[in-house]
Each structure stands twice: as structure tokens, then as C-alpha cells.
Amino acid sequence: MVGTYPRLVENHSQPRPARQAAFFDLDKTVIAKSSALAFSRPLYRGGLINRRAVLKSAYAQFVFLAGGADHDQMEKMRQYLSSLARGWNVAQVREIVAETLHDLIDPLIYDEAASLIEEHHAAGRDVVIVSSSGSELVEPIGEMLGADHVIATRMAEQDGCYTGEIDFYAYAENKAVAIRELAVVEGYDLERCYAYSDSATDLPLLEAVGHPHAVNPDRALRREAQARSWPVLVFTRPVQLRERSASLAVTSRPVLAAAALGAAVTAAGLVWYAARRSGRPGA
């Protein structure tokens, strides 16, 4: 059965040996572009995004790659997403993602990130994807990568549809809260764990582990990494995951994911952000 994070911490009568994990942000860390925007055309064909939004997605992608949104913009985006998603059918979102996942996402995975995942698994560490996107998108990507767990935004559902309420927003400090809880449940020693992200908004996540890494960092994170002597990694080689010669455990490892805000919602939100930057109302 699929598990849900964050959740109530379990009590263990006997302490377990400390284990290690590697925590990966998703977009621009594992994936070479916005994973959500990659789905704009399938979402349009499914009737969840209009034609205007599809046309704007290219600009939104440029804005995202150039530096993304700051904290205030992300909070406004969260509020916008929650109202936009109200009444959307969860099964339809999952179906769109399932039908198009491999064609859209497989070519976007950084070869360097896939190699790191292999190395951490070979060293006996769990791999955890930690993303502010929804699990309808993040969970299947985690399965492709052989991740052990997924932490993602969780949106409330009722009768198979989104209610418009967000139960858990996997962003900024909330990511650190979630990995600390997961560490208690799984017995991770966070001082011996690793984390990878491109964004300064993930500083709480990076600060929570003993081995933080900045990957393709934005300017704010690059400054922090230099000030704290954190390693800075540059990933540049998107690759067809299925064509990699090294074996990646793409189906054998279970993924524990948070039921969450779908790919359609995140894509629409980034399109809204692009419209905001261009001075025009959202579609």
C-alpha cells in the first residue's frame, strides 16, 4: 500500500540502527526543465488548460529556468492553485500523467543525477524525491528513478475531486519538517544524509542534513553555498533514461508518496506566474 508523508511519527520500542538517505529536489536538480510545464499540451488535450495557457507555457519555462519565483510569488501561486483546482477530477489528472510520462519526462532526466542516484543506492542509502509539485506527477517520476520515498504537496480530495484546500504544501521549511519526520520513521541519521537542490527556497532542506549540495544553483543559493563551503554541482546532460547502459532500479523499489496537488495544477500555476511577469491577467 502506498504510504503518505508527512504523517504521524510511529513509536518504536527498540531503536533501529541509524540509516542514511539522499534527498533530491526535482526540477532543475533531477529534471532539466519544469516537470509540470512539460505536460502543458497533454493537459490542454485533456481539457484542463486552455489554448492561451499552452502558448504562454514557453515563456513560463524561460522564466523558470532563468531563476523562478521568489517566496512571495510562490505563496500567491499557492493561493491561486488551490482555487483553480477546486472540482478537478483527480483520476483524470493521474491518467494524463500516466499516458504521457515516459515520452515527456524520460528525455529530461539529467545523466549526472541518475548516476548520483545509482551511487547512493549502491552505497546502501535510500533515495527520496522532495518536491513542491503534486504526487500525481512526482510519484511516477520517483518510480522511474527507483526512488524509495516521495515527499510532495498534498491537496484535499472529496468524492474523487479536489476540494480546493491544501493539506500540506511541500515548500521551503515544510520540506525540512517532512524529512525530519521521515527520518524518525525510517531511522535516518540526518547528519550522515545528503541533499541536493537548485533553489535558495530549499535552504531549510539543505541545512537539515550533514552533506548539502547546490545543483545548478540560483544566484541566492550560489552565494549561500560559497559562504558555507557547500559543494556546487553543475548538471548539463539530459539523457534518455531507458538508453542508459547502467542499470537503474526503475520498478523494484517501492515509492511512498503524499496524495497531492496534480501536475495540471502546478502547470497552470507556472503559466499564471508567466502571465504575471508579462503584465497580463492569467488565462
Given a contact cutoff of 8 angstroms between Cβ atoms, the answer to whether 227 and 120 are in contact is no
Is residue 27 part of the annotated active site? The answer reads yes
Q: Around 249, how many Cα atoms within 13 Å sit in the side-chain half-sphere?
A: 16
25, 148, 198, 202: the catalytic one is 25
Query: Residue 158: exposed, middle, or buried by beta-carbon count in 10 A (0-12, 13-18, 19+)?
Result: exposed
Residue 25 among the catalytic residues: yes
Report how far residue 257's alpha carbon sits from residue 58's, in angstroms, rounded to the nearest whole number.
Answer: 29
Q: Give the residue numbers marked as catalytic.
A: 25, 27
